[in-house]
Amino acid sequence: MSKSSFTTNKWPPTEDQIKDIVISAFNQSQDKDVKVLVYWDNPKLMIFDPFHFAPTEYIKKKYEHNERSCEITIGKED
């Protein structure tokens, strides 16, 4: 995750910022299908296989790379 990506945590995150989180999630997990939750007020904290979500605005995306997938959910605030 590049340090410059998160210098400004303006909502909503840019596509590049989201891709940086996805790359980091792929690097931190060996799972074929990765599910990760990030709250934009603390984007460096990644919650894998989330089951509880705070009441806030969310962005959800799915990315695929080399037969792996990442479902990312980004919440505005925790």
Q: Greater confidence, 25 or 78?
A: 25
Any domain includes 4: no
Any domain includes 61: yes
Query: What sign has the CA pseudo-torsion 20, 16, 69, 61?
Result: positive
Structural domain total, the chain:
1
Preceding omega of 43 cis (within 30 degrees of 0):
no
Q: What is the mean pLDDT of residues 8-31?
A: 93
Residue 5 banded pLDDT, cuts 50, 70, 90: low
**pLDDT tens track for 38-57:** 999 998 899 999 999 999 99
Any domain includes 5: no
Any domain includes 66: yes
Here the tokens at position 73 are 């959910």
> pTM for this one?
0.87
Parent domain of 41: 12-75
